[in-house]
Amino acid sequence: MACYLKAIETQPNFAVAWSNLGCVFNAQGEIWLAIHHFEKAVTLDPNFLDAYINLGNVLKEARIFDRAVAGYLRALSLSPNHAVVHGNLACVYYEQGLIDLAIDTYRRAIELQPHFPDAYCNLANALKEKGNVRKNTVSEAEECYNTALRLCPTHADSLNNLANIKREQGNIEDAVQLYRKALEVFPEFAAAHSNLASVLQQQGKLQEALMHYKEAIRISPTFADAYSNMGNTLKEMQDVQGALQCYTRAIQINPAFADAHSNLASIHKDSGNIPEAIASYRTALKLKPDFPDAYCNLAHCLQIVCDWTDYDERMKKLVSIVADQLDKNRLPSVHPHHSMLYPLSHGFRKAIAERHGNLCLDKVQALIKINALHKPAFEYPKDLKASAGRLRVGYVSSDFGNHPTSHLMQSIPGMHSSDKFEVFCYALSPDDNTNFRVKVVAEANHFTDLSQLPCNGKAADRIHQDGLHILVNMNGYTKGARNELFALRPAPIQCMWLGYPGTSGAPFMDYIVSDKETSPFEVAEQYSEKLAYMPHTFFIGDHANMFPHLKKKAVIDFKSNGHIFDNRIVLNGIDLKAFLDSLPDVKVVKMRCASGDSGVAETNGALSMPVIPMNTAAEAIINMINQGQIQVTINGFTVSNGLATTQILPAVEVVVSGSVVLQINNKAATGEEVPRTIVVTTRSQYGLPEDSIVYCNFNQLYKIDPPTLQMWANILKRVPNSVLWLLRFPAVGEPNIIQYAQNFGLPGSRIIFSPVAPKEEHVRRGQLADVCLDTPLCNGHTTGMDVLWAGTPMVTMPGETLASRVAASQLQCLGCPELIAHTRQEYEDVAVKLGCDMEYLKMIRSRVWKQRICSPLFNTKQYTLDLEKLYLQMWERHASGSKPDHLVKLQPVESSESA
């Protein structure tokens, strides 16, 4: 540099020295000084070709594209056949988005210099950008990359970019090999590390993917894409904080990075931070208005919090997005599990599921190819000889633990006939150390934790080793699913059951267990699977086992004014009868049950309900509630405040003078154990009026849509002195619900919100409501079972989807078809009659209370017998060589003991 400066000092008009000094400054990263010196050089010598080229190059790197173009064009006026300048000029056109002009200019560079690998590579990039790459075709772009590699086999950019094409064409293994070769040639190639990591993530090789993302970031610390994609990998590895940090860093590097904002929003959404998710999705859409994933996820977040601003327009746009994506054979931005919430056609919902099913097939295709090299395809058992005449059934779920699915079916594995069935359970999640997990592990014949085997190929091999006849998918497209296991076909028969309310859309699922009410045969085309009908309902609940203390109840005659209510102050307990026997003056009130016309066996007559008069014991109980005490002792029995289970404490006993004075058991709160005390539940605990009709719905708020809230508002306006009891599920939805209710003419004061409660309290407090109003958009499924076990009638209106017909199936099985409406007006009228006709309400409530025990709805033993019949029918068809077909002809029902 000193020499150049001395030369300029000696001869100020020495253009070559100015240009060379510009090269020095450029090498030092002093871009503006470099530009200044190159411009001085061409000013001194207007025909200085190299200076114009260098000026164009430095302006291109500085992204001052207009001036860079001017520099290159001036260079070409001096040397029209300079291939490198044509190539560089084309690069600027490409950056400016002038793709056609870039393509023409690259072609001119190649024409002038046929052995120009950089130009072939960049021409391919431009052709790819224009959209000339199509799956399963040898595109011109691909040919250009191959030409570049013939000219220079170690051309790292061409290796990387050709790998990108192979990946888009579905040739994953070819892509991996090309990325690896690019890294052999150029180990410090950050983009190739990131791209390879992305493919490895797709293959489920998360640790190796993480390693390559870290390498990309080491090489290029400001590589925002690598940070964002590494966040996706960490998210898949359940490292939420790590993912959050990666997305945040990507945004710090590039605040205009729309994908990173969307990814950050998804982390917030999955973590329940919905307001933060909404804000991030909106930022992503401001930066990138045509962003279907961000738009559809934002729509789902707004549904979660009941923000119905521009609801109709939002739904129209969402449907149009799905239509466009399906038309272009893209993966829809609406998740299959969310499709039930939107006004999509049956065909669209099925197509969305099919795309996700095909995605699972794509993911395992490479595994299938690799396995074919060293092992034969799976062979299946042809008979029951190897299993000693027993049918081997395997249940696959990520929810063997404290999850609603286990709350429904945890007793089923242990209830299978041991001489006809051999039961296998495969967990996709680690042990959560709950009694739900312990029960399934203990009662299944075999239990395998596949969460420790993340490779789907190896996990499918493990399942296949057990020689199953039927493999049951309990996840569908819910969180924790590994449908790739089913795509690998480790069993000859594979069916959907219970955990997912819709079709899989997957060719590798043969049957879906349902019933004629939930899945009428006339809509069988909505399902990719064959329908397999249970005789009553496909739904089941383990409530009789989990909550036997709710089979009986007593009430306190408090402010009754001659009217005995069964849901103001309620006592439940395993020892309830003995406790009542210890009290004086307990009377039994007969409450007449409404007769039904469902054809389901039921016990007619009257319901006997013990009533405790206002005596010393009753006053002690009421004082305990009013003073917020945890429990009292009456006649040697511990009587607990029902709100005490909300205290998240370990199971403890506090002993004073040899007597237990306090018992708090968190396992009783979660439903893992049965409470050992008499538990008191009152309306006052939840701010519910004693003298009002209480309508309730305990679903998550996303299941409420404007038409549903409009119906509820109409009902309450027709029923004087009535209130609506909802959950803060989530809490941020509460002000929106209140505002829209007011818009519908219902004062916000008539809606009462409670926090989400532990499972036992959640089910038990359902006794306090008079009527449950179901959500027609997506019914209460587990929640429906919860409220019915509490003895509270549920009004429903079946819709078009499986998810919207479950409650009707439950009510038919219960023997209460009069609670099923078929129009909005009928729904309102049924609910209003229950709210206005007190005698009718009492009869219906009495009937629901008795039918919980007498009907098949909660009879897990009967349910298991019926399920076994279905499994045997599936196997008999397979063993006879027949393909799966609808199993809708109901078999004679063998009776079993009631719940």
> Of 615 and 897, which is predicted with more confidence?
615
The dihedral region occupied by 103, where left means phi > 0, alpha psi between -120 and 50, and beta the remainder, is: alpha
On whether both 808 and 764 belong to a single domain, the answer is yes
In terms of domains, do 718 and 679 share one?
A: no
337 is catalytic: yes
Q: Is the pLDDT of residue 845 over 80?
A: yes
Residue 123 lies in a domain: no
pLDDT one-digit tens code per residue, 115-148:
999 998 989 889 988 874 444 334 789 999 998 9
pLDDT in tens, 220-251: 999 999 999 999 999 999 899 999 999 999 99
HSE of 597, CA atoms in CB hemisphere, 13 A: 3
Residue 157: is it exposed, middle or buried by C-beta count within 10 angstroms (0-12/13-18/19+)? buried
The per-residue pLDDT for 401 is 98
- DSSP-derived secondary structure letter, 337: G
Residue 64 lies in a domain: no
Rounded to whole angstroms, the Cα distance separating 261 from 282 reads 9
Residue 209, CA atoms < 13 Å, CB-side half-sphere: 23
Round the CA-based radius of gyration of the chain to a whole number and report it: 34
Same domain, residue pair 433 and 341: no
- Going by their DSSP bridges, the two strands 493-496 and 511-514 should be labelled as parallel
Tell me which of 342, 374, 406 is where a domain ends. Answer: 374
Residue 899 pLDDT > 60: no
Residue (of 754, 768, 701, 784) closest to 407 by Cα position: 784
Burial of residue 680 (CB within 10 Å: 0-12, 13-18, 19+) is buried
Residue 318 lies in domain: 285-374
With H, G, I as helix, E, B as strand and everything else as coil, classify residue 360.
Answer: helix
Specify whether the CB–CB gap between 91 and 122 falls below 8 A: yes
User: Does residue 593 register a pLDDT over 80?
Assistant: no
CATH number for the domain harbouring residue 802? 3.40.50.2000
Q: Report CA-CA distances (Å) from 150 to 153, 177, 327, 787, 801.
A: 6, 17, 38, 71, 56
Instruction: Please report the pLDDT score of residue 661 as a whole number.
Output: 40
Which residues 6+ apart lie within 8 Å of 786 measured at CB? Answer: 541, 543, 698, 762, 763, 766, 780
Q: Read off φ and ψ for residue 78, nearest 5 degrees.
A: -85, -30
Q: For the chain, how many structural domains are there in total?
A: 4
With both helix axes pointing from N to C terminus, report the angle between 49-61 and 83-95 in degrees, rounded to the nearest 10: 20
Paired tokens of 174? 């070819």
Structure tokens at 854: 């007498």
pLDDT at position 769 over 60: yes
- Predicted local confidence at residue 307, as pLDDT: 99
Residue 35 confidence class, pLDDT cut points 50, 70, 90: confident
The whole-angstrom separation of Cα 35 and Cα 306 is: 56
pLDDT number for residue 135: 42
| Same domain for 534 and 549 | no
Hey, how many other C-beta atoms are within 10 angstroms of the C-beta on 763? Answer: 24
Three-state secondary structure string covering 95-161 = HCCCHHHHHHHHHHHHHHCCCCHHHHHHHHHHHHHHCCCCCCCCCHHHHHHHHHHHHCCCCHHHHHH
- Mean of the per-residue pLDDT values of the chain: 92
| Domain membership flag for residue 709 | yes
Q: Strand 631-634 and strand 652-656: pairing?
A: unpaired
What is the C-alpha separation between 866 and 894, in angstroms, rounded? 8
Residue 606 has pLDDT above 80, yes or no: no
Q: Is the pLDDT of residue 416 over 70?
A: yes
Query: Is the confidence at residue 658, as pLDDT, over 50?
Result: no
The tens digit of pLDDT for each residue in 186-197 reads 999 999 999 999
Tens of pLDDT along 749-766? 999 999 999 999 999 999
Say yes or no: 356 and 503 in one domain. Answer: no
What pLDDT does 678 receive?
Answer: 98
Q: How many angstroms separate the Cα of 100 from the Cα of each of 77, 103, 105, 123, 568?
A: 21, 5, 9, 10, 76
Burial 787-806 (b: 16+ CB within 10 A, else e): bbbbbbbbbbbbbebbbbbb
Measured between alpha carbons, how far is residue 762 from residues 77, 672, 782, 837 in Å? Answer: 81, 14, 12, 27
* CA–CA separation, 80 and 874 (whole Å): 76
Chain CA centroid to CA 42, Å: 62
Spatial distance between the Cα atoms of 840 and 847, rounded to a whole number of angstroms: 11
Q: Crossing angle, helix 156-168 and helix 190-202, to 10 degrees?
A: 20
Q: Is residue 656 part of a domain?
A: yes
For residues 639 and 615, membership in a common domain is answered with yes
Q: Which of 434, 414, 817 is nearest to 597 (CA)?
A: 817
pLDDT of 653 above 60: no
Q: Flag whether 17 is in a domain.
A: no
As a whole number of angstroms, the distance between CA 191 and CA 138 comes to 24
Residues 515, 429 share a domain: yes
User: Is the pLDDT score of 600 beyond 60?
Assistant: no
Among 753, 695, 686, which Cα is nearest to 720's? 695
At 366, is the pLDDT very low, low, confident or very high (cuts 50, 70, 90)? low
C-alpha distance from residue 288 to each of 275, 294, 335, 679 (Å): 20, 9, 21, 55
**Do 563 and 583 fall within a single domain?**
yes
Report the distance separating Cα 14 and Cα 3, nearest Å: 12
Residue 517: give its domain's CATH number.
Answer: 3.40.50.11380
Cis peptide before 730 (omega within 30 of 0): yes
Buried-exposed string 238-273: b where 16+ CB fall within 10 A, e elsewhere: ebeebbbebbebbbebbeebbbbbbbbbbbbbeeeb
Element (H, E) at 178: helix 172-185
Q: Are residues 415 and 524 in the same domain?
A: yes
pLDDT score of 162? 93
End residue of a domain, out of 324, 340, 374: 374
Looking at the fold, whether 389 and 414 belong to one and the same domain comes out as yes
221 secondary structure, DSSP code: T
Which residue among 347, 374, 401 closes a domain? 374
Helix, strand or coil for residue 633? strand
CATH number of residue 309's parent domain:
1.25.40.10
Q: Mean pLDDT, to the nearest integer, of 466-474? A: 99
Mean pLDDT of 17-37: 79
Query: CA angle at residue 793 from 787 to 796, to 5 degrees?
Result: 90
Q: Please give the single-letter amino acid code of residue 427.
A: A
Query: In Å, how far are 313, 347, 480 from 403, measured between CA atoms?
Result: 36, 31, 12
Residue 488: what are its φ and ψ, rounded to 5°?
A: -80, -10
Of residues 212, 300, 337, 416, which has the active-site annotation? 337
> Would you state the structure tokens that stand for residue 15, as one six-digit string?
């253009």
Instruction: Confirm whether 1 is domain-assigned.
Output: no
Q: Are residues 729 and 833 in the same domain?
A: yes
Least confident piece of the model among 31-35, 407-411, 836-840: 31-35
Structure tokens at 760: 């036992």
User: Residue 62, CB half-sphere, CA atoms under 13 Å: how many?
Assistant: 20
Is 569:622 a contact under the CB 8 Å cutoff?
A: yes
Res 15 pLDDT > 90: no
Confidence of residue 655 (pLDDT cuts 50, 70, 90): very low
What pairing do the DSSP bridges indicate for beta strands 606-612 and 587-592? antiparallel
Average pLDDT over residues 768-776: 99
Res 411: pLDDT: 98
Distance of CA 370 to the CA centre of its chain: 30
Report the C-alpha gap between 266 and 280 in whole angstroms.
9
**What does the pLDDT read at residue 502?**
98
In contact, 632 and 639? CB cutoff 8 Å: yes
Please say if the pLDDT value at position 508 is more than 80: yes
Residue 258 maps to a domain: no
Instruction: Report pLDDT for 597.
Output: 53
CA pair distance 557, 618, nearest whole angstrom = 9
Q: How far apart are CA 796 and CA 116, in angstroms?
A: 71
- Per-residue confidence at 659, pLDDT binned at 50, 70, 90? very low
pLDDT in tens, 817-829: 999 999 999 999 9
Amino acid sitting at position 545: N
Provide the pLDDT for residue 13. 77
Does residue 368 carry a pLDDT above 80? no
DSSP secondary structure string for all residues of 302-325 = HHHTT--TTHHHHHHHHHHHHHHH
* Tokens, residue 591: 């409450």
The 8-class DSSP code of residue 696 comes to E
Q: What is the pLDDT of residue 363?
A: 81
Within-domain flag for 511: yes
Are 368 and 432 members of one domain? Answer: no
